[in-house]
Amino acid sequence: LRLREKGMDKFALRCFNTLAHDREVSGVQVASALLHLPTHYTINYNFVCVNLWWLRRYIRSIIQPTSSNNLASHPMSDEPCAYESGDTAPASIFDNYTWRGPLLAPLCFFEYCMLVRTRNVRDALLDDMDFEPDHPRYATHVQRLARMQSQVATVTFNGQLSEYQVAEDTVPGGHPKTEAIVNDLAELLLGLFVPWKNLPPLFVRYATQINPCMQVWATIEPTLAPHIRDYARNIELLRKSKEDCQADAKSRTSANQHASHLFDNDMEDMALADIASNTENNTQTFCYQDEFFSAETLIAAYHSISKIWQRQATIVARKIPSLLT
């Protein structure tokens, strides 16, 4: 009790600063460690990764067929595909969607990634659907639609939401929402949430000379189903969340570098004598940093501190057996 009353306030802050400085702890990790919850927010571990660079290439080849001839010369033209023993050709998620067939034609690309899985014909069920004959796996695989919520996949992205991301990152104080960047994001939203066969007539009817994707998306977005519009808004939030995280990381780095000389980074090896010497009269040596920390980080910090207290109490109890009674 004496240790906690006279020295642990400062010690707790020193431990917290070390934890916040040395390691970023996510809310998922905290919930898993303290509450024994799963290590993921999603319903299950089913994930489908979409390469945003290749999504752009496919969309541009649809709305501008003449530009698709330049893909082979690009250094990133090796598209990630799945290839199994016995296949006549590799296939990607884009191939699956392109040749999904008339029964699944109403699905947008995002819905297809969430709801449809490929299965070998040996394991086919009566309600599984065939690919179109042009698909590389037409003879060996079928498509199976999710029947339960646990079978629905979470769509993840590989790549940048904006091709202007590098230029955005150089702007002090945040990222500009210019028309070029809005048009860049609209291109992805069209590819994710509008069936690809609908894109050519939409661009013929609504596209403008400048920022055509932005104009087409602004026209078609209000007509989409409510759940599709919700997904689209979530994609837009991803970019904002990334901006906020980057700004927060820069702020934390600057504050921690300024205050690093005030704290001991080795809390595990701290001697009890050092803790006891931190009396109330010496609290002026601690310089409080006016900075914001998330609830998840605070929970993780004090969880770590409580474990240290338990270990130290055990050490003291061995020296003073009367404390065990």
CA–CA distance, 225 with 156 (Å, rounded to integer): 21
Looking at residue 72, its pLDDT comes to 40
Looking at residue 13, its pLDDT comes to 65
CA–CA distance, 216 with 280 (Å, rounded to integer): 66
User: Residue 272 above 50 pLDDT?
Assistant: no
Asked if residue 282 belongs to a domain, the reply is yes
Looking at residue 273, its pLDDT comes to 47
CA–CA distance, 149 with 151 (Å, rounded to integer): 5
96 and 29 within one domain? no
Residue 215: phi and psi, rounded to 5, are -70, -45
CA–CA distance, 79 with 94 (Å, rounded to integer): 10
Contact (Cβ atoms closer than 8 angstroms) between residue 3 and residue 312:
yes
Asked if residue 13 belongs to a domain, the reply is yes
Looking at residue 191, its pLDDT comes to 96
150 and 86 within one domain? yes
Look at residues 154, 183, 210 and tell me which one is the last residue of a structural domain: 154
Asked if residue 53 belongs to a domain, the reply is no
User: Which of the four pLDDT bands, split at 50, 70 and 90, describes residue 266?
Assistant: very low
CA–CA distance, 118 with 130 (Å, rounded to integer): 10
Contact (Cβ atoms closer than 8 angstroms) between residue 47 and residue 152:
no
Q: What is the DSSP string of 142-177?
A: EEEE--SGGGPPEEEEES-S-TTHHHHHTSTTS---
310 and 269 within one domain? yes
Asked if residue 286 belongs to a domain, the reply is yes
Look at residues 123, 154, 185 and tell me which one is the last residue of a structural domain: 154
Note the pLDDT tens digit of each residue in 10-61.
666 666 566 555 555 566 666 666 666 676 677 778 889 999 999 999 999 9
Q: Which domain holds residue 135?
A: 72-154
The gap between the terminal CA atoms of the chain, to the nearest Å, is: 15
Note the pLDDT tens digit of each residue in 170-216.
666 555 677 888 898 999 999 999 999 999 999 999 988 888 999 99
Note the pLDDT tens digit of each residue in 132-149.
999 989 899 999 999 988
How open is the CA angle 28-33-307, to the nearest 5 degrees? 135
Asked if residue 311 belongs to a domain, the reply is yes
Asked if residue 220 belongs to a domain, the reply is no
Asked if residue 164 belongs to a domain, the reply is no
Question: Angle formed by the axes of helices 295-319 and 2-22, to 10°?
Answer: 140
Strands of 123-258 (E only): list them: 129-130, 141-145, 154-158
126 and 78 within one domain? yes
Asked if residue 24 belongs to a domain, the reply is yes
77 and 139 within one domain? yes
The mean pLDDT of the chain is 74
The set of residues, in sequence order, having a beta carbon less than 8 Å from that of 64 and lying 6+ positions away, is: none
Average pLDDT over residues 260-275: 47
User: Residue 264 above 70 pLDDT?
Assistant: no
Tell me which residue has tokens 């050519």. Answer: 200
Percent of the chain past pLDDT 70, that is, above it, reads: 54
Contact (Cβ atoms closer than 8 angstroms) between residue 193 and residue 224:
yes
Residue 22: phi and psi, rounded to 5, are -85, -30
82 and 35 within one domain? no
Looking at residue 315, its pLDDT comes to 76
Note the pLDDT tens digit of each residue in 62-96.
988 765 454 443 434 455 555 455 555 567 899 99
Look at residues 154, 176, 200 and tell me which one is the last residue of a structural domain: 154
What is the number of structural domains in the chain? 2
Residue 142: phi and psi, rounded to 5, are -130, 170
